[in-house]
Amino acid sequence: MVKVTQAIRLSAEERYREELNRLTQIDSQNNKPEGWLLSPKSVRQFILGDENLAVSRKFFGDDPLVDRAIVSLLGKQGLMLVGQPGTAKSMLSELLAAAISGDSNLTIQGTAGTSEDHIRYSWNYALLLAEGPTERALIGSPIYQGMKQGKIVRFEEITRCQPEVQDMLVSLMSEKKMMIPEMGSNSMISAKPGFNLIGTANLQDRGVHEMSAALKRRFNFETVNPITDQKFEIELIQKQLTQELGDLITQITIPIDVIELLVTTFQELREGETSQGTKIKTPDAVMSTAEAVNVAYASALDAYYLGDGTLTGGQIAKQLIGVVLKDNADDIKRIQFYMDNVVRERAKKSDSWHSFYQVSKTFWK
């Protein structure tokens, strides 16, 4: 018998299928736009949670931003989520697509190699030679499919694409139609109700391929900011860590002061100032909550498989190397300054900070 292994990561509509089904069943009394799986009220409940309906909160941070995002997708404009890397822009776009269309997989990943075929359509050349330019020979892009099916399309890292590729979106977003000249002058598809586009862009990519003014006018922009509330970020990381570890969570001891250490370090390096008011230089590396969760998860696995089952500050320090110390030599100096001038003093009063400091000294050996 072949053993069926669950995928490492399921799409949002698969992970939360039960919640979506529950919301769909009780959604008949709400006003639902044509082409939407759920009403705007239920989309909001799906993303921000509802304890009375046993629906979990999935996006943490700016609740009014979620409301504005939903309203944007109700209108003619697309939605552009911008912000620093790791602020859950892609996760929010996935959740919105799953709740509105029941499908978050119509996605274009923007890169320097993204071409017109990824935006519009291409051809199965064997069928093209045999039958000519027929619908059967056409391979529709996610935008083509989104228009035809009336679904949300996600465009990740749009500013990584060449300007001429980006500008193909201008007419598609304005007219909500796609011409297919190869199939005749009157051959086109018109977008069905429910179609819209959610783009994401990292603020660190400014200057790579800036969006044109014409394209910007086709989107409502929303900035997704990092979490600044320390207590809230600690609670979020604990929750995410519990979900990531699954059954292992019962076999690993995770002291709260170690998670506090992790969050304090990330917030101070992110903001360029310690809780005592000491100014420090921020590294170029991404110091987001998502990265903090990754560090906590890797450190917990280190504790379970290579340690004694108890998470320590030293394990946090080891995993921090892969996040902060990449290919920027200046980052090493910035972290060394932070360790020597901030962490060393804390290490005198705390076992977790002491362990963190001792292991961190290997960064620059």
Q: At residue 25, what are phi and psi to the nearest 5 degrees?
A: -70, -30
Q: Domain residue spans in the chain?
A: 12-223, 230-364
What distance lies between CA 73 and its chain's CA centroid?
A: 18
Tens digits of residue pLDDT in 318-329? 998 877 776 677
Highest mean pLDDT among 3-12, 23-32, 208-217, 288-297: 288-297
* Percent of the chain clearing pLDDT 90 (strictly above): 70
Residues 6+ apart with CB under 8 A from 221: 80, 82
Q: What is the 3-state secondary structure (H, E, C) of the chain?
A: CCCCCCCCCCCHHHHCHHHHHHHHHCCCCCCCCCCCCCCHHHHHHHHHCEHHHCECCCCCCCHHHHHHHHHHHHCCCEEEEEECCCCCHHHHHHHHHHHHHCCCCCEEECCCCCCHHHHCEEECHHHHHHHCCCCCCEEECHHHHHHHHCCEEEEECHHHCCHHHHCHHHHHHHHCEEECHHHCCCCEEECCCCCEEEEEEEHHHCCCCCCCHHHHCCEEEEECCCCCCHHHHHHHHHHHHHHHHHHHHHHCECCHHHHHHHHHHHHHHHHCECCCCCECCCCCCCCCHHHHHHHHHHHHHHHHHCCCCECCHHHHHHHHHHHHCCCCHHHHHHHHHHHHHHHHHHHCCCHHHHHHHHHHHHHHC
* 1, pLDDT greater than 50: no
* Nearest-angstrom CA–CA distance, 94 and 74: 16
Quick one: CATH architecture of 12-223?
A: 3-Layer(aba) Sandwich (3.40)
Q: Quick: pLDDT tens for 88-100.
A: 899 999 999 999 9
Model confidence pLDDT, tens digit, residues 106-145: 999 999 899 999 999 999 999 999 999 998 999 999 999 9
Q: List all residues 6 or more positions away from 26 whose beta carbon is below 8 Å from its beta carbon.
A: 42, 53
Sign of the Cα pseudo-torsion (255, 256, 257, 262, in order): positive
DSSP letter assigned to residue 251? G
Could you tell me the pTM of the whole model? Answer: 0.86
Percent above pLDDT 70 for the chain: 95
Dihedral of alpha carbons 168, 169, 175, 178, sign: positive
Indicate the average pLDDT of the chain: 90
Structure token pair of residue 344: 């060393």
Confidence of residue 50 (pLDDT cuts 50, 70, 90): very high
Rounded CA gap, 358 and 365, in Å? 12
pLDDT, residue 4, reads 46
- Average pLDDT, integer, range 45-55: 94
DSSP 202: E
Residue 333's pLDDT band (cuts 50, 70, 90): confident
Q: What is the pLDDT of residue 206?
A: 59
In the predicted structure, residue 363 carries a pLDDT above the cut 90? no
